[in-house]
Each structure stands twice: as C-alpha cells, then as structure tokens.
Chain A
C-alpha cells in the first residue's frame, strides 16, 4: 500500500513568513510523529499524536511551532514567523500504535532565506 507522504517536498521561504507542512500517514495508523533533521543535530523529536489523546508537544522548540491532526489522519505542522535556524528537513512518521515500527515519509526540506 501507499507509504507516508509529505508535501511539499521542498519549501523556500523568507524570514518572518509562516509555513505549513503536510503529512499523510499510512491508512489505519493511529500514531503520527514529526521530527526535524538538521546537519549535525540528527533527528530531533517535535510532536506526536496518538489516537484521540492529547498530543505530546514536549519536543516543540518554541511557541512558533504548532501542529494539528484532523480526523485522526492528515497532520499539518505550522511554523510561524520563520527564522533561518528553522531551515531543516522535516520528517513525518506513522505507526500502527505507539510501540510499533515507525514508517517515515520522504520529508520536506525547508529553507528560510
């Protein structure tokens, strides 16, 4: 079946603008995760959703970052007033349940000029 998809694949924006990144998880997966991958920092956990429970936002670096998951499926990560240090690859993953294998999307490469 189809894997995790993300859009756009690349996003270039100007400092101060807002951006929205989208993730379509594998159908039926109840858990959805956002990570940030930057050079030298590895994979940094941002936020995770499990079913209808309140999301774990403990990894969000600032209040400029937010995410929502509508209808238990598609998720949007929003970064407001982007800064140059937000430039990274943003990865989405989903799993059947939290303890199951995570399947990753191809990522969105964000460049803030």
Chain B
C-alpha cells in the first residue's frame, strides 16, 4: 500500500537555525514526491516537487530511494517559514491522486 509518514506533528526552532522536516514513503514503484505548504489563513500551495530539483524559498528536498525518504531542509529558518507542511506522494503507475502525510507544523521563533 502507498503511504506517506511525517513523524513530527510539530517542529519548533529558533530563527537562523537549520530545519529538517522528515518524510518517509512506502511505494514499490517509481514515486514522485512533493512538498506542499499552508501558511496561516492561506490556501494550500505547492512548495516543491522532486523532479524539478529546485530550491524554493531556500528549501530543498532530495529523494533518497534507498531510505525511501524525501526530507525537506533549509539551512537558516526564518519566522515567515512558520506554516503547516505536507509531504505527498504520486504513484504514477497506479494512476491515483496524491497521497498526503498528516503534516508537520513548523514554528520559527525569534
């Protein structure tokens, strides 16, 4: 079965500290992974997808097929990064919609 696990419900860091939001997935095929973000009182939006290999707002994520992980990282957290972050999996061969993790709330304080 396809599954996405985000082990942390809440991650609290200080401004300027490094951030790593963990995401592990379960899928036997070739996955496509995404990170979506929801800022306070805003709609859910795409942050990045692994096939783009982009860095958005200083965030990066590398797909590690050996560890079945897609952790989101940022070297220096900013207060405006405070939001809910969702990791999501698309199983292309299965023809299914996105499967989301339960989300991690990132809180960055000064």
Contact = CB atoms under 8 A, between A and B. Distances in A.
A104 B96 CA distance: 17
A106 B96 contact: no
Given A41-B102, A56-B97, A106 B92 contact: no
Interface residues on A, range: 20 to 34
A40 interface: yes
B27 to A, nearest CB: 15
A45 B98 CA distance: 7
Contacts, number: 48
B60 to A, nearest CB: 18
A40 B102 contact: yes
Nearest to A40: B102
A103 B98 CA distance: 12
B95 interface: yes
Interface residues of B, number: 20
A41 B103 CA distance: 9
A3 B42 CA distance: 13
B54 to A, nearest CB: 12
A104 B44 contact: yes
Nearest 8 A/B pairs, CB to CB? A42-B102, A43-B100, A104-B44, A48-B97, A42-B103, A104-B43, A106-B43, A101-B46
A98 interface: yes
Given A42-B86, A104-B45, A98 B102 contact: no
Central interface residue in B97, B98, B99, by most chain A CB within 10 Å: B97
Contact of B49 (A3, A93, A101, A103): A101
Contacts of A106: 43
